[in-house]
Amino acid sequence: MFFWPREHGIRLQFIQLGKPTQNPFVESFNGKFREYCLDMHWFRDLAEAREEINEWRRHYNQVRPHRLTASHAAPPVCRAGGMTLTLNFPFNS
């Protein structure tokens, strides 16, 4: 982690301890991940946790409306077994 940046002339800057406001994007993501994934699921084992987290990550990155396009995007839709369910809860608040 330290050698590659030095070899390429990149200076690493770390967030100071106790200063989460120095990186609000990560703090925002962590809050959404905790609220909409970890708080909503009980994992029986590591494999189940990986499966649920991967599904949540796929939804977060590919399905949910993003802030820049939220006004133009349709609500997220789940399809399973020939049924369609429109999700109206806020994934990007």
pLDDT, position 8: 87
CA–CA distance, 65 with 71 (Å, rounded to integer): 8
Q: Give, as one character, the DSSP assignment of residue 71.
A: T
pLDDT, position 52: 93
Cβ atoms of 75 and 86 closer than 8 Å: yes
Which band of pLDDT confidence, cut at 50, 70 and 90, is reported for residue 69? low
Q: What's the pLDDT tens digit per position in 38-62?
A: 999 999 999 999 999 999 999 988 8
Q: What's the pLDDT tens digit per position in 9-31?
A: 888 887 777 777 777 877 888 88
CB neighbours of residue 32 within 10 Å: 17
Nearest to 22 by CA among 30, 14, 34: 14
In sequence order, what are the beta bridge partners of 83? 80
